[in-house]
Structure 1
Amino acid sequence: MFDLDLWREIFQSINKNKTRALLSGFTVAFAIMLFTILFGIANGLENTFEKFFVRTAENAVNIRFGTTSKPYKGLQVGRQIMPTSKDLIYLKEEFGDNIEFLSTKLSRNYQIKYKKEKGSYSVSGVSPDYQYIEKAKIKDGRFINLKDIKSKEKLCVIGRLVEEDLFLKESAVGKYIDLEGVQYKVVGVYSDDGGDRQERVVYVPFTTIQRLYFGNDDIGNISLTYNPKMNIDQGLGLVKEMTTKLKNRFEVAPNDQRAIRIGSRALTEKKRLDNISSGLAALIPIIGFGTLIAGILGISNIMIFIVKERTKEIGIRKALGASPKSVVSIILLESILITTITGYIGLLIGVGILEAIGSSLERYFITNPSVNSSILITATIVLIIAGAIAGFVPAKKASKIKPIIALRNG
């Protein structure tokens, strides 16, 4: 049952001993605040990692072809490297299960019209696998399939914003768009979490691009994803092996950096972020929980001092007939109340600091630093329990002191 007199007495005790209450409260608030900030930074790094890979698969690798910058085996500088469909087959056969998805990418800008609406958009000739490399999500209809590649049909899949730009409030699927005088049937609409630029791309079968605009078997650049079971180091090893073998295949000098460029910004950044995250993943919990332990020790020391300071008061209470239980209750509830209130204040300060400096931390690869509420609640509960124990142990000991001894010592 709620005892109003007991709580009034607790608040009077806190009011009379403001310095003592502030000292014990500051220890708790600082511990929770620091704990919140540290875990918020760790989560911010994870958010950066997820944001970076939202555009394409995290195991994506791009192969770009250009002109040679060094002579090799009697061949002159400036030779154009042009891969064909045979090179796609070569990669599949040579690297087998190490490749998950594989697609060509022939891209250029075209003027596209639908009725009175028109605009310039990037049109990419791709394979069906490109949907998974780019992380395109089908909103309506379907993506390009193998049948489209074989039949070289004039059809396309458009981005969500292309549909909004050209079709306004109409559904695009089943309609025809004019791609510089050639009619293409829209078979699907996709969305892409990578942003507006990714949603203003039109995908068509790469064989259609070859037939209508190139008149040969050139495939442009190549995009792929390696086996997701491979770790980062294995992925980097695969990139190195591909570079060596493709340079040999096209007779390119090993130190020619311009003719064939195989790389993955994702892999490089993932390696760096993983190293940072691994270090912080080990360090932050240690620091965070170390902070909580320091807070617990601080509360314990302060509560021991508080009980000792109130020895005379305890003696008077017992002399007036107060039971040991009531003596313990007052000190215990006071400790829990101070810990709870200041813990919540520390939590609010920590969250407020994260929100205030969050945007400025992006330069350090920390995006939207925040903390899971369950972690904060758990940490606060731990401190409250610690505060209760810290108050209970010395209070229990003091409640057993005889009134005459307590009055003499006080």
Structure 2
Amino acid sequence: MFDLDRWREIFQTINKNKLRTLLAGFTVTLGILIFTILFGMGNGLKNTFYESFQDDAQNTIFIYPGFAKKPFKGFKENRRIEFKNEDLELLKEKFGDRIEYITARISDGVTVKYKSEYGNYTVRAVHPSHQYLEQTDIEKGRYINENDIKNDARVAVIGRLVEEDLFGRDNAVGKYFTLNKIVYRVIGVFSDIGSGDREERNIYTPVTTQQLIYKNTDKIDQINLSYNMSIGASGARRLSKDIEKLLKNKHNIAPSDQNGIYIESVIEDLEQTLQFANVLQIIVFFIGFGTLLAGVIGISNIMVYIVKERTKELGIRKALGAKPSAVIGMILQETVVITMIFGYIGLLIGNFILKSMGRKLEDWFITNPNVSQGIIIFATVTLVLAGLIAGYIPARRAAKVKPIVALRDE
């Protein structure tokens, strides 16, 4: 295998038969090129699905009130369900050992003014735990704390883009502005890179402050919580069912009514989405592998032609004493060299195309398309093995041909 004369002879043969070599190598390059691009795009699609869940903690559960569509215990159908502070406290009491963070949330659109600057934004009234559920990063100042909740403080944490819109280059922390003509003090500025501009145009205030402003109501729009990771995905499903059962019982909703309470688990959505992405990737893999197989068949056909063309040469070698194993080894080594060189070229071109088109593919929901090192190794090994098989069959036939028969070949 490491005979210098053998290697010199192989490269001389390749150099003398450029067209033949290019034809053999082109099928390999094309096959691995298409395989790399298809598999890379499959990974990019999977990355898009995964990144869509990066804005929130992966162990988050969202609970929304809906409309009870069925009559139950004397209550009429189409009854609107409303959450209150007592619902939040009930969940803390019943499931405190399984809950990590919990917060209420009230959302409202407001007109914001600072000096001569105006803007319309969404205000979210929350508890301090909301920061960990949304994975909010504080760039300046601080987030809402328990003292703000107890004191009904008129303070606000604004998004980075809100600061840019209203305060320009000034540091917003410590300054006062109005939300629907009510004065608040800015205590912090947050960023939320994972979710883009939408989240960074939000404003957070203490939930008790918003409830006080709205005529001392104790109503809340939704409840968000995160469960202890130790309970796992199956435990999270049980927790969701237990919460649904408890709230339905409290609000007199029929157990079979699917519209009274809505519960959404991030981990379940992520699992379902990634399962769908994995199925797509498997389909893409088999399509790409089929393309790779087509390239292998192509090089196999070309190798049959190459061996047939060199029949007289092989006969002379056997007449001079070359063993059948030496003939087979020479052809196989030449096949492997061609396969590896052109296969590597296909990998390089495929990776270059993926990197150069990376940003442009985001509009098609493909993020950071790439091929892992393991897949590259798999494809390379597959090519080498396929090249060996493609070259072995015609080489073995050629090695069995008697020298006198080979020398008569025209």
Normalised by the length of structure 2, the TM-score is: 0.77
For 1:221-280, what per-residue CA distance to the aligned partner results, in whole angstroms no more than 9, with x for missing partners? 21123333455554344333322211211223335555x422217456435324424545
SS of 2:219 mapped into structure 1: coil
Partner of 1:140: 140
Query: Alpha carbons of 1:83 and 1:44: their partners in 2 closer, same or farther (altered >3 Å)?
Result: same
Query: Alpha carbons of 1:141 and 1:398: their partners in 2 closer, same or farther (altered >3 Å)?
Result: farther
Is residue 62–residue 264 contact of structure 2 (8 Å, CA) maintained in 1? yes
Partner of 1:120: 120
Partner of 1:371: 370
Is residue 34–residue 291 contact of structure 1 (8 Å, CA) maintained in 2? yes
SS of 2:44 mapped into structure 1: helix
Partner of 1:241: 242
Query: Alpha carbons of 1:7 and 1:257: their partners in 2 closer, same or farther (altered >3 Å)?
Result: closer
Partner of 1:39: 39
Correspondence list, 1:42-191, <5 A: 42-66=42-66, 68-76=68-76, 81-191=81-191
Partner of 2:16: 12
For 1:23-48, what per-residue CA distance to the aligned partner results, in whole angstroms no more than 9, with x for missing partners? x3354235424532552354134223
Question: Shift of residue 210 of structure 1?
Answer: 2.1
After TM superposition, the structure 1 stretch with the greater mean CA deviation from structure 2, 55-64 or 263-272, is 263-272
For 1:65-112, what per-residue CA distance to the aligned partner results, in whole angstroms no more than 9, with x for missing partners? 356555432345576544332321210221233323211011212221
Is residue 100–residue 227 contact of structure 1 (8 Å, CA) maintained in 2? yes
After TM superposition, the structure 1 stretch with the greater mean CA deviation from structure 2, 197-206 or 63-72, is 63-72
Query: Alpha carbons of 1:45 and 1:236: their partners in 2 closer, same or farther (altered >3 Å)?
Result: farther
Q: CA RMSD in A?
A: 4.4
Percentage of pairs with the same residue: 39
Question: Shift of residue 53 of structure 1?
Answer: 0.8
| Distance in 1 separating the partners of 2:347 and 2:63 | 51
In the alignment, structure 1 segments of 5+ residues that lack a partner are none
Size of the alignment, in residue pairs? 401
| Distance in 1 separating the partners of 2:332 and 2:83 | 80
After TM superposition, the structure 1 stretch with the greater mean CA deviation from structure 2, 189-198 or 337-346, is 337-346
Correspondence list, 1:228-377, <5 A: 228-230=229-231, 232=233, 234-258=235-259, 260-264=260-264, 266=266, 269-277=269-277, 279=279, 299=299, 302-303=302-303, 306-316=306-316, 332-333=333-334, 336-337=337-338, 339-341=340-342, 344-345=345-346, 348=349, 367-368=366-367, 370-372=369-371, 374-375=373-374, 377=376
Code of the aligned partner of 2:18: I
Code of the aligned partner of 2:381: V
Correspondence list, 1:389-400, <5 A: 389=388
After TM superposition, the structure 1 stretch with the greater mean CA deviation from structure 2, 370-379 or 155-164, is 370-379
| Distance in 1 separating the partners of 2:199 and 2:368 | 26
Q: Is 2:211 the counterpart of 1:210?
A: yes
Is residue 136–residue 191 contact of structure 1 (8 Å, CA) maintained in 2? yes
After TM superposition, the structure 1 stretch with the greater mean CA deviation from structure 2, 386-395 or 79-88, is 386-395
Query: Alpha carbons of 1:286 and 1:228: their partners in 2 closer, same or farther (altered >3 Å)?
Result: farther
SS of 2:220 mapped into structure 1: coil
Question: Shift of residue 202 of structure 1?
Answer: 0.5
| Distance in 2 separating the partners of 1:77 and 1:305 | 79
